[in-house]
Every structure is written in structure tokens, then in C-alpha cells.
Structure 1
Amino acid sequence: MLIDARKLAAGSVLDADVCVIGSGPAGGSLAEELAGRGMNVVVLEGGGLRSSRLHSDTYRGVVGGGAHDPLEVVRQKRVGGTSAQWGGRCAPLDDIDFAERDWIPGSGWPITPEDLQPFYPRAQRHLDAGEYEYSAARSGFPPAPAAESTILDWDHTWRWSPPTKFAARMRRLAQGGNVRLLVEATVVRLERDPVSGAVVEAVAAPRPGVEITVRAPAYVLAAGGLESTRILLASDRQSPAGIGNEYDQVGRHYMTHPVGEVGTVALSDAGRALALGYVTTSDGIYSRRMLGLTPQVQREHRLGNLKAALWFPDPMTPDHHDGLLSTFALTYWGLGKARLGFKSAGTHAAYTGTTGIGRHVRNVAADWRRVGRFARSWAAPRLTGRRVLPSFMPLDGAFCRLRFDAEQSPSSANRVTLDSERDALGQRRLRVAYSVSESDRERIRTGMTLIGEEFARLGLGTVALDDVDRIGDMAFTDGTHQMGLLRMSHSPRAGVVDPQCRVHGCANLYVASSAVFPTAGAVGPTLAIVALACRIADRVAELVVR
């Protein structure tokens, strides 16, 4: 049943077996898993079927120390959550991401890769990303033409979901008999039993001055990293610091993934034969090779994890005379100037600095046939097929760049807290202090240099990394991957949730989010988030049926 919470009477109370807070990939997958076991599930979603200016404003925060994209831009308050702007990229975490590494303080997960492994295939199905297979050799890629390397790993891949938008899935679930999806139901706090510490109520505000309540034996916070943190901090009636925050751990160790492009690469025939663009796997999924550093090299050089891929040349200045690159630059320049959501933030925000707009337009006009051919090939799968070509990625020019997604190490100084300013629903806004350390930047510089040198040594192309020192000055403000804020730990002194993702000291409250990641890895977190959600679903089912 789909219920607009604004139409409920003030003080309404709903009962359920499980209350799930959030309707994105984590919350949606959890609701589906639990409903499939016959449980009565209430899903609380603060947004509506569409995003509004009011929704966006309630996600607005305050950026204090450092630099960070606007909080209302990097997330979506609507049914389906931020899956509405997710690109669909999937990959599992590496084994080394779980390991304790003495050169990365705070590293080491309290679970092993084997603990999460059984849940990846289930997550894969929820995300509609095909088989659980992330080896290029076993996915239908052409054989690698170069010799084996002890430095460079090119067999691991990304896979792309169509991408799955969870809004439609949630609406289908709400048509069933045991899922009630409440929209416009922003959770403002959780109430606990003063003796046992268990959560007894989730309190939501459909409109200013009005509250409704959901009661259930089990609760799962799946509202995204930032909002799940805000809810715990704001639940301060029994504990002044908020739930799970007896040792000042809630909101600390905030990590994202530093992303950037460096270098100039001219591919050789061997490099082109490696198929470093998009490849359709044997089961029909768009996929790409990662260029990563082996665990041996990461340990030897004391590096964080890092994944690289070929990227197109810098499109921002029109001197390239390439109509496709100018089309891309003009598109993102316009989105950035109009501040149209996700595509105006993070690495995309730089395109507001695009120069020579008139010359870009002339480049497009002069290259109109090629632009037209690309537009047709780009539009065809979007108009006629379920699976969308993941991104603009022409690699047919003379040169390209190396793009990296890097691991950021956890730091207690990177954190979010509650600000004194309040939104229209009376919630205190979040205040963010965030920066990328010099040690992380140096690890990225070293990693990219090693990748470039090995790429050239293997005869895959010539690589010039004259600009690698720019990594020291890159903004790294992208907050779309919100990790570490509610980190997993054996002890409440070191984190917020236990190895089962249950909040320390709160036997019936779980968190399904990348906020529980103790370290960040170097791949997008969505697949691991949904795998954790499936694991939590099993634990919650055991708790409720006891």
C-alpha cells in the first residue's frame, strides 16, 4: 500500500514486524527480502514520488572546515532515494580492503571477505547486474595481449546495472499485501526504551508540527550515510549525544572516493587490443576493465587501494577541435550553470569553468556528422533497450587520459555534526568538516605513477604523467559516496555498529549503508551496500520470528 503520510491524522500509530527507513537500493532490497518471507514491513520515505524544492531544502547542510559539495546536491530525497541519479556501476570490494594495514590507521574490518561473499549474488540480482562474475577473462573480454604483470591487475572489471531505479520497484512492492510505503514521512528521531535501550518508536514528520509513529520489533536505518547519521544524532531524548554515540563515534571518519584525471596516453595496438572501453559481457552486461595495483604492490609501497581506467581528453578548452568533446563540455557547462542536481556536483562541477563557448559551438558545427553518428548510437539503447550505455567514452582519438577512483583513509577529524540551524520540519541541519589529507594525495600520486610506468613498460602505450603533481591541488569535494560515518567495529569505543551492522547497545536497530564501512576501498559502494542489506535481512528475520 502506498500512503501519503501528510493525509494521516496527527499522532497516528502504525504497527509492523519491521520498520525500514529509506527506500533506495539498501531499503528497497531489504523490504523485498523481508516481504518475501511474509513479514509485515513499513517503509518510511521522507520524499515523495518526485523531488521538490522543499525536499531539497531539508537536505541542505552547512559546510564548515574544508570543502564539500552541497549536501542537497549529492543525494536525493524521493522514493528510490539516490538510485534516481545512480550511474549503475557495480564491483565487489577487494580482499585487501578488509585487511588491517599498519600504514592506514583505522583499517581492518571486523568481518572477513568470506562473511560477505555469499550475499553478493543476491545483491547482483537486486541490482539486475547479470552474473556475479568480475573477471574479464571469464566475462567474454578478448584475451589480454600483454605479458603477466606483478604490478598491474587488468583482469578485474566493473559491471553496470541498467541502472536500476528503485522508485518503480518500491511502487510494485507497495502493491503487495505486506509492504506499506509511507511517502512524505521524514524520520526526525528514534525513541528508545529507557531500560533495555531497544528502539520502540520511529517518529516521522509529514509536515511541520505534525508527528506520526511506527512501532515494530526491529528497525533498519537505510537512509543513506548522511541522513542515517543525522537521525542517530537527533535521537537524543534518552542519550544527550544521540543513539550509538556514547563514545563520540557517530558522524566521524567520513570518507568519500577522491576522483580525478591525469596524464596523456597514446595507445599502442596492444593497448587497443586490451579492450579498455565498454565491452558487452557474455550475459549481455556493459562492463569495463579496471587498471588496478596488485595487493603485493600496495603492501610494498604502503598505498591505499586505487582503480584507474582510460578517459577521454580534457574537453573544457576548445583547442582540441573535436566536436564530440565540445558537445560534452557544453552539456556539462549548461548543467553546472543551471545547478541541475548531481551532474552539477563533484568532478562535474569543474565544467562551469569551460572557456571559449563560441569556439566549442563552432567545433560541434564543423564535426556535425560525427556528432550525429555518436548521438544516434548513444540514443538507441536509451530509447529501445533496458540497458543504458553507461557514459560518454570516445577512445578513438590520438590521446586519452587516466582516470582514478582512490581510497581515502579514515580520519576522525572528517566528520558531520548537528548545526544550530533548523529546516522547515524543525530538524537541525548537518554541518560537515571534510578534507583529503596530504598523505592520501601522495599515495594517489605514487599509485598513478606506478600504473602509468607499468602500462608503458608492457607496451600498451606511451604515457606522459607530467601533470601528476596536480593531485596535490585537486579539490576532491564529491560527497556522493558517504562512507565511514557509522563504522563497523567490535567495540563501541571504536565505532557505531557491531559486525552484524547492529548499533552497539541497541539490540533491534540495524544500519544498512556504506556509512558502516570501516575503510572505503576504491570501487563504488552500491553492490556491497546491497550485499550487507541482504545479510541484515537474514539477521532481522531471525530476530523477528523468535
Structure 2
Amino acid sequence: MIIDARRALPGSSFDAEVCVIGSGPAGATVAAELADRGLRVIVLEGGGTGRDRTADDTYRGVAGEGAHDPVEAVRQKRLGGTSAVWGGRCAPLDDVDFSEREWIPDARWPIAHDELRRYYGRAQRHLDAGECEYSAAASGFPDPSPEVTETDALRWDDLWRWSPPTTFAPRMRTLAQTGRIRLFTHATVTRLDRDPVGGAATEAVVVPRRGQEVRVRAREFVLAAGGLESTRILLASDGYGGSGLGAGIGNAHDQVGRHYMTHPVGEVGRLRLTPAGQALGLGYAVTPEGVYARRMLSLAPSVQAEQGLGNLKAAVWFADPKDPSHRDALLSTFALTYWGMGRVRAGFKAAGTHAQYTSTTGISRHLRNVVGDPRRVARFARGWARPRLTGERHLPSFMPLDSSHCRLRFDAEQTPSATNRVTLDRERDALGQCRLRIDYSVSASDRQSIATSLTLIGKELERTGLATVDLSDVERVGDLPMTDGTHQMGLLRMADSPREGVVDARCRVHGTPNVHVASSAVFPSSGAVGPTLALVAMACRTADGIS
């Protein structure tokens, strides 16, 4: 059953055994897992089946100290959540992310990686990412040629795999239409209310439109509304019927919204792959079961420990499209496309690392490049469009590696810092809620760690004979914007004590154990891979803890 909450009578209430807040990858996973066990589940989605002005307004934030992408541009409030614009990239966290590292304080997980690893296979099925196999050697990638010098410092066997990508809106519709769950749309949760004696959460207060309230009572609540929105709900839940007696659920020690981490990303350097590097397969390849994958480059944990570095994943990337002197029709097409989307602020693809294309210059020269080789552009466009129209798995991203040179693109770990945080601002949104204020920056020490890691990776690529490398521009890492907010981690971190975090080792909010959080916001450390696979694995684990 799908219910538009705006049509509910003001003051009406609904009951369920479990109330899941959010319909993105985490919320949809929890809902499906619980429905499979026969529990009565209500899912509350703040948006509708598509974009709408009110939902978009409630996701606008207030800029604080530092620099961060507009938060309405890096998330989607709609059925299926941000999976509607997800690129599909999957990879597990590393063992090193769970280890004790004295050079990265406040990054300790209260669980071992093995506890999460046993859920990756289930998460993989929810994400439709093929086999849970992240070794290049075991996935059909070529072995290094005899010309490649062995190395213990550089790893290239780890993989990213790509979901088609999966959007969870159709799955939520199916769950609702078959009667396995009740799904409410336009059901923004403004707060959770608690029992004044026992402290357990009793109901979610829903505001479909300003001045209208609907309530959902449940035995268990699962916050799965994304890192930022789940944080807002806990901060706004002052405890007891909106009386203002509390400081937010789980916030007795001012931990809610702190230690905000994302993944600093960027591209640097000039590389030319040798024949041995080309033969290794550093671009996209298709695994035996038909899933796109590619190698990631990283430093061995021993090197990270020796140098005191955070985790970092690199990939060979195409030349900088913004400079038309490359005279490449495809690169110019790419630059013009993202320049146009940035100019009209076309949502998700106008933020993060894509925002750099708003500074593209030489537009007329780019156009001449495109006109100069229309067949190349047409061939690529046909191959790009067909699977997207038919629903087949498709090449995950634009990736020509046949230009005069390539670059290194990196995704880096960010050190948790209590000063990177979100709080409630006095400014109100269209539903009367306080907006989030974002105070966020990437530290100088993290930038130095990134630069050192890239330098070491570049040296190993040279030494092993995989590429000739020029990283003379690596100092640019100190000035790159690094404002990407698409991966939202650390805000509701997992810890054994409420003095150090918001949820316990089972992802239950300290002091309110019938509120569970299914989100990458519980990650105490960020790792260096996209969080989707790990957060869906965590969602499966959370569902297992609800009876």
C-alpha cells in the first residue's frame, strides 16, 4: 500500500511493529529484510515519487565555517533516495580501516571487520553487483606481464565493482504494492518523541505540509534517511513531546553531528602507460558474470603505517578535459556537458568534483574539437545511450585512456575531527524545520597525507615499469577545493560509550535502544572507498538485530 501522507487527516496516527525512516539503499534493505520475516513495517519517505519543490527546499542547508557543496545538490529527497543518482560503485572497506592507528586518532571501530564482512554477500545481492569477489586475479583480470617489477609497496589486485546502478524506487513500489509494507510518501519526519519515564522512542512525528501533523507509533524505529537527514532528526528530537527538555536523542554528550567526514577527491599528475601498464588492464573490464569492474591502486598497509598515512585509493584517469588544447573531441564533449550542467546547477552532477567544470574556458575551441571529429563522438554516444535506454549494465563512466596522457584520480580517507560538524540553524525551511548548518573543511595534515600517498604511488608505477609519471603538480592538493559531500560519514559514529559516539556496536542509539541507525553516518572512520556496500551490509546487520 502506498499512501500520500498529505491526504491523511491532520492528527491521525498509524501503528506498526517497525517504522523505517527513509527509502534509499539502507531503508529499502532494512524494509525488505524485515518484511521477509513477516514483521509489520511502515516506511516513511519525505519526498514523492519524483522531485518536488517543497522536498528540495527542506534539504537546503546553511553554510558555516569552511567550504562544502550545497547540501541540496548532494542528496535526493524522493522515493529511492539518492540511489536515483548513484553511480553504482561498490567496494568493501579494508582491514586497515578497522585497525588501531595512533596517527589517526578517534577512528576506532567497536567491531572487527569480520563482523561486517559476513554481511557483504547479502549486501551485494541487494545492490545487484554480482559475485562478492573483489580480487582482480580471481575476477578474470590479466596477470602482470613478466616485464613488471614486483612490489610489496603498491597494491593493484583490489577492485571496484559496479551495480547497474540499482535505484531502489521500483523495489519500494513492489514491496508496497504487494502488501508487504505500508509506504508513506511526502512524509517528512520532524522528530521522534520518547516516553518521559522509560526514554524509549514512541512515535515519529510526520509533517506532510506546514501545520499538519501525522504520527506513526512503533515498537522499533530505524533511521535510514541518509547521514545528514538522520542527524537532523536526532538533533530535532528534543526528547519529550517537543517540550525542549532535552538536547536531542543520543546527544547527552554533544556527539550528534560531530566528526563529519566525506572523501576528499581530485585528479593530479601526468601519466603515460607503458605497454605493460596497458596490458595490466587499468581501465574498465567486464567480469565473467558480466559486471563492470576496475583495478584500484593503493599503498600496502605496512607503507601507510611506516609513513603515518591515511588510506587512499587511486585510479588511472583521463586527461584534463577543461583545456581545449588536447584537441580531443570526446574530452571536449565531456567538458562542455558538465560546464552546461554546472551553469544551470543541474543538481547532483553540478556538485562535488564535477563542480570544477564550471571554470571551463575556450568554449569555442571545445566546439571546434567536437565538430572536427563527429564520428568519434557519435560512436561513443551510441554505445553510451543504448544500454541506458534498454536497462542493461552499462559502462559506468566516461573513460577514454587513449589520449596523449592520463592522470591519477584519488579518493582519500579523512581524519575524524570534532570541529567538522552539523548543527541546527535558526533559519527555517518550507515545513518549519530548522535547517542544518555545515561546518566542514579538509585539514592541512590530510592534504599532506594525500600528496605523500600519490607521490609514493607514482614512484612505484615508475619503478615497476607500468607508467612514466610526472607528479610535479602534486602540490595542488594543498589548494584543491575538496568540498564533495556525497559520502556522509561519522556524524552518528559507533562507539562503546555515549561520551565517544552516538550508537553502540549494534547501531542502537545510546540511551534509546529502540532507535537504530542504518547509515554510513555510524562509521567511526571513513576508509577510502564509497560507503554504499558497507552501509547496506550494516543495514542487513541492523535488520538481523530487530525481532
Please say whether Structure 1 and Structure 2 have the same fold, judged by a TM-score greater than 0.5. Answer: yes
Q: Which amino acid is 2:40 matched to?
A: N
d(CA) in 2 for partners of 1:242, 1:370: 56
How far 1:422 moved relative to its partner? 0.6
For the residue of structure 1 that corresponds to 2:207, the secondary structure is: strand
1:152 corresponding residue in structure 2: 154
Does residue 139 in structure 1 map to residue 129 in structure 2?
no
d(CA) in 2 for partners of 1:386, 1:127: 15
How far 1:412 moved relative to its partner? 0.2
How far 1:380 moved relative to its partner? 2.7
Instruction: Tell me which of 413, 423, 427 is aligned to 1:421.
Output: 427
1:229-265 superposed Cα distances (whole Å, 9 cap, x missing partner): 0000000143521000000000000000000000000
1:41 corresponding residue in structure 2: 41
Instruction: Tell me which of 351, 375, 387 is aligned to 1:369.
Output: 375
d(CA) in 2 for partners of 1:501, 1:125: 22
Alpha carbons 2:239, 2:249 under 8 Å: kept: no
1:256 corresponding residue in structure 2: 262
- Equivalent residues in 2 for 1:246-285, closer than 5 Å: 246-285=252-291
> Which deviates the most, 464-473 or 47-56?
47-56
1:104 corresponding residue in structure 2: 104
d(CA) in 2 for partners of 1:317, 1:266: 18
1:369-391 superposed Cα distances (whole Å, 9 cap, x missing partner): 11112112222322335212100
1:224 corresponding residue in structure 2: 226
Q: Which amino acid is 2:46 matched to?
A: G
How far 1:398 moved relative to its partner? 2.2
Alpha carbons 2:55, 2:77 under 8 Å: kept: yes
1:8 corresponding residue in structure 2: 8
How far 1:143 moved relative to its partner? 1.2
Moved over 4 A (4+): none
2:352 corresponding residue in structure 1: 346
1:544 corresponding residue in structure 2: none
2:236 corresponding residue in structure 1: 234
Alpha carbons 1:382, 1:389 under 8 Å: kept: no
TM-score (norm 2): 0.98
d(CA) in 2 for partners of 1:484, 1:112: 17
For the residue of structure 2 that corresponds to 1:217, the secondary structure is: strand
2:450 corresponding residue in structure 1: 444
Does residue 491 in structure 1 map to residue 497 in structure 2?
yes
For the residue of structure 2 that corresponds to 1:336, the secondary structure is: helix
Alpha carbons 2:451, 2:475 under 8 Å: kept: yes
- Equivalent residues in 2 for 1:369-518, closer than 5 Å: 369-518=375-524
How far 1:296 moved relative to its partner? 0.8
d(CA) in 2 for partners of 1:482, 1:279: 29
Does residue 536 in structure 1 map to residue 538 in structure 2?
no
d(CA) in 2 for partners of 1:237, 1:246: 11
d(CA) in 2 for partners of 1:319, 1:48: 45
d(CA) in 1 for partners of 2:65, 2:122: 40
Does residue 317 in structure 1 map to residue 323 in structure 2?
yes
d(CA) in 2 for partners of 1:268, 1:317: 24
For the residue of structure 1 that corresponds to 2:513, the secondary structure is: coil
1:422-471 superposed Cα distances (whole Å, 9 cap, x missing partner): 11111000000000000000000000000000001000010000100000
For the residue of structure 2 that corresponds to 1:395, the secondary structure is: coil
Alpha carbons 1:4, 1:182 under 8 Å: kept: yes
1:280-322 superposed Cα distances (whole Å, 9 cap, x missing partner): 0011100000001111111111100000001110010211111
For the residue of structure 2 that corresponds to 1:261, the secondary structure is: strand
Does residue 115 in structure 1 map to residue 121 in structure 2?
no
d(CA) in 2 for partners of 1:100, 1:196: 36
Q: Which amino acid is 1:240 matched to?
A: G
Instruction: Tell me which of 201, 206, 209 is aligned to 2:208.
Output: 206
1:89 corresponding residue in structure 2: 89
d(CA) in 2 for partners of 1:120, 1:237: 35
d(CA) in 1 for partners of 2:404, 2:335: 19
How far 1:176 moved relative to its partner? 2.1
Unmatched segments (≥5 aa) in structure 2 = none
d(CA) in 2 for partners of 1:195, 1:373: 67
Q: Which amino acid is 1:208 matched to?
A: R
d(CA) in 2 for partners of 1:148, 1:453: 13
d(CA) in 1 for partners of 2:182, 2:94: 37
d(CA) in 2 for partners of 1:16, 1:147: 61
d(CA) in 2 for partners of 1:31, 1:176: 13
Unmatched segments (≥5 aa) in structure 1 = 542-546
1:505-538 superposed Cα distances (whole Å, 9 cap, x missing partner): 1120100000000000000000000000000000
Instruction: Tell me which of 156, 179, 183 is aligned to 2:185.
Output: 183
1:392-414 superposed Cα distances (whole Å, 9 cap, x missing partner): 00001221000000000000000
2:66 corresponding residue in structure 1: 66
d(CA) in 2 for partners of 1:243, 1:494: 15
For the residue of structure 1 that corresponds to 2:228, the secondary structure is: helix
d(CA) in 1 for partners of 2:150, 2:183: 52
Q: Which amino acid is 1:101 matched to?
A: R
d(CA) in 1 for partners of 2:469, 2:177: 55
1:31 corresponding residue in structure 2: 31
1:128 corresponding residue in structure 2: 128
1:112-161 superposed Cα distances (whole Å, 9 cap, x missing partner): 01111111000000000000000000011111222431111000000000
1:31-85 superposed Cα distances (whole Å, 9 cap, x missing partner): 0000001111000000000011221111001011000010110100000000011
d(CA) in 1 for partners of 2:181, 2:423: 33
For the residue of structure 2 that corresponds to 1:417, the secondary structure is: strand
d(CA) in 2 for partners of 1:374, 1:507: 52
TM-score (norm 1): 0.98
Alpha carbons 1:197, 1:507 under 8 Å: kept: no
Alpha carbons 2:149, 2:463 under 8 Å: kept: no
1:165 corresponding residue in structure 2: 167
Query: Aligned Cα RMSD in Å?
Result: 0.8
Instruction: Tell me which of 275, 293, 304 is aligned to 1:298.
Output: 304
Alpha carbons 2:149, 2:465 under 8 Å: kept: no
d(CA) in 1 for partners of 2:392, 2:221: 34
